[in-house]
């Protein structure tokens, strides 16, 4: 390996990873075909670092792979029993703090939270379910909002602000009281500027924001994460676009 390539590379679990200056560890890893679990990252949005599932050990210290910049010569630990145990606990906490019922969810098979739980072999919730009382907003003609499934990754907030230029969604409250709110006079989705073609509608990794009338257009068993585990779909995760699957509201209301 030349000095130039050495200067623009680092290692993940002993594997040499090339990078372009300005890339994060996660961006470089995905570009090289190396999977690092994550939920709040999307290649078309700025790094955020909220879910912490992408936490790796960089030169002996914990760091979020989606926000920490790739640097020459750093040594990154990613796929280890210790880190995967921590990720499994984070997933368990996400499942019990909301109301996630995968067998009856329209997002099943396309849900990154579900796919990560399968991939990391999360076999039980471990913690007591909180069963919070959260609203469902069906006031929009084409889109509905189910906060029971929200994991507060803020992808919809960032997509609405940075891509759509609308600021339809925001995060309010603190700690266990944190929740997504809708920027409209009534606080309802139907009174907002949201459109079915907005990036914010199609970026949700779970089933919190769903397009109406297309929930089972693709049968369960034939969806994104049904045939292959999420950890084997690195190319998809690295290059996906918003909207992932464009949907047109062509049916009569």
Extents of the domains making up the chain: 3-79, 82-213
Show Cβ contacts of residue 54 under 8 Å, excluding neighbours closer than 6 positions: 26, 36, 37, 38, 41, 64, 65, 66
What pLDDT score was predicted for residue 242?
81
Cα 3 to Cα 81: distance, rounded to the nearest angstrom: 33
Quick one: pLDDT at residue 110? Answer: 96
Q: Is the dihedral of CA 13, 19, 24, 27 positive or negative?
A: negative
- Domain 82-213 sits in CATH at 3.30.70.20
Nearest C-alpha neighbor of 92 from the set 132, 123, 66, 51: 123
For domain 3-79, the question of CATH label 3.10.20.740 is answered with yes
User: How many CB atoms within 10 Å of residue 41?
Assistant: 28
The answer to whether the CB of 5 falls within 8 A of the CB of 20 is no
Q: Where are the beta strands (DSSP E) in 108-253?
A: 136-137, 143-146, 169-172, 179-182, 209-211
What does the DSSP assignment read for 90-108?
Answer: HHHHHHHHTT--GGG-TTT
- Predicted confidence at residue 243, as pLDDT, reads 61
Helix 81-97 to helix 112-119 angle, to the nearest 10 degrees? 140
User: Average pLDDT in the 134-150 region?
Assistant: 97
pLDDT at 247 over 80: no
CB 34 within 8 A of CB 23: no
Q: What is the pLDDT of residues 53-78, one digit of tens each?
A: 999 999 999 999 999 999 999 999 99
């Amino acid at each position: 390996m030349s000095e130039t390539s050495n200067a623009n590379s680092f290692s993940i679990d002993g594997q040499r990873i090339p990078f372009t200056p300005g890339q994060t560890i996660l961006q470089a890893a995905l570009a090289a075909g190396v999977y690092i679990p994550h939920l709040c990252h999307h290649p078309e949005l700025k790094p955020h670092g909220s879910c912490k599932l992408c936490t790796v050990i960089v030169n002996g210290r914990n760091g979020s792979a989606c926000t920490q910049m790739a640097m020459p010569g750093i040594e990154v630990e990613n796929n280890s029993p210790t880190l995967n145990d921590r990720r499994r606990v984070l997933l368990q906490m996400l499942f019990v703090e909301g109301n996630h019922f995968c067998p009856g969810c329209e997002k099943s098979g396309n849900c990154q939270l579900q796919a990560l739980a399968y991939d990391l072999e999360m076999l039980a919730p471990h913690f007591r379910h909180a069963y919070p009382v959260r609203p469902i907003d069906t006031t929009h003609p084409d889109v509905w909002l189910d906060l029971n499934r929200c994991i507060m990754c803020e992808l919809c907030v960032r997509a609405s602000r940075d891509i759509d230029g609308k600021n339809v969604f925001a995060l309010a409250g603190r700690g266990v009281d944190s929740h997504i709110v809708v920027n409209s006079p009534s606080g309802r989705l139907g009174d907002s500027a949201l459109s079915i073609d907005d990036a914010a509608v199609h970026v949700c990794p779970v089933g919190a924001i769903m397009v109406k009338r297309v929930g089972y257009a693709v049968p369960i068993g034939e969806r994104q994460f049904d045939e292959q585990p999420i950890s084997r779909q690195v190319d998809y995760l690295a290059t996906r676009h918003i909207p992932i699957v464009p949907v047109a509201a062509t049916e009569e209301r």
